[in-house]
Amino acid sequence: MNRHSPKSSVMSDAIKQHTAECFSKAADNYGKYAKVQTKAAALLFTKLRLSNRYILDLGAGPLLHHDILAARAADVVHMDLSHAMLMQGPNTTGRVCADMDALPFQSETFDAVFSNFAIQWSQSPAQLFTELARVCKSGGQVVLSSVLTGSLNEIAVAWQANDCETHVNHFLTLSALIGYAAEAGFDIGSAKQIALVDEYPDAKAAIQSIKHIGANKLQGSREKKGLMGRKAYRKVLDGYPITDSCAPVTYQVALLELFKR
């Protein structure tokens, strides 16, 4: 039975297109502002096996991790929804612009999948994990990080001071991700939730940091059109939680190591 109505499919396609556009606009500066993402990647590298034939870098962005991944595999395929992001990377082959919910690869292709700060943009997490299991070889390893519910709380608090809405994307819980992975046919090697914090000199810089990495209210945004007035924006900035003279941006992050049964 098809659980997805034509209307929901159209909405999903529109959101994916909007997501690609947002990340494409951020492509030039992504590496400069992806500080928390870099911290998460370093933790994933400690889990990734040292020797693989084929690795899929899922949600590769501007190929920030190409050199490390290439040292651990004979071939690396970098995949992202944003063509502009992929074109920012080093001069290498193996770039694929595609949707993570419908992986354009044959079954049992990859020995390992590496995915850092990407799968939270999936429009169908159950389908995504099913696809990951399909393209992995038996015993294949998946190491991934994902943004979880409770992230960007400081930004949510600041916006609520203006209009009682959070203006922050909705993310899954760690238990939900584990459930999807297990249903798809993965054994859970390890799963943990950690808080990663980035700091900025003021509230404006903290709020703009989300736009700089392309993650500004992507999923089903109900933002009112038009420019926000200065008075209202000032209220948002004044409502931002400041800690030790810094404006923190906190991400709740899942770190998962999975093995295909």
Domain span at residue 111 reads: 6-148+170-194+252-260
How many alpha carbons fall within 13 Å on the CB side of residue 99?
16
Q: What's the average pLDDT block by block, 10 residues per block, for the chain (261 residues)? A: 52 83 88 93 97 97 96 97 92 93 98 98 97 98 98 94 78 98 98 97 94 68 54 93 96 98 95
Q: Tell me, what's the pLDDT at 113?
A: 98
Instruction: Look at residue 207 and tell me if it is in a domain.
Output: no
Number of domains in the chain: 1
CA distance 238 to 149: 24
Unique residue bearing structure tokens 């400690």: 46
CATH of the domain at 129: 3.40.50.150
Instruction: Look at residue 14 and tell me if it is in a domain.
Output: yes
Q: Tell me, what's the pLDDT at 6?
A: 53
Instruction: Look at residue 19 and tell me if it is in a domain.
Output: yes
Instruction: Look at residue 238 and tell me if it is in a domain.
Output: no
- What length does the chain have? 261
CA distance 111 to 1: 32
Q: Tell me, what's the pLDDT at 27?
A: 87
Instruction: Look at residue 144 and tell me if it is in a domain.
Output: yes
Instruction: Look at residue 156 and tell me if it is in a domain.
Output: no
Instruction: Look at residue 245 and tell me if it is in a domain.
Output: no
Instruction: Look at residue 154 and tell me if it is in a domain.
Output: no
The pTM score is 0.90
Look at strands 186-200 and 136-147 and give their pairing.
Answer: unpaired
Q: Tell me, what's the pLDDT at 226?
A: 43
DSSP-derived 3-state class of residue 67: helix
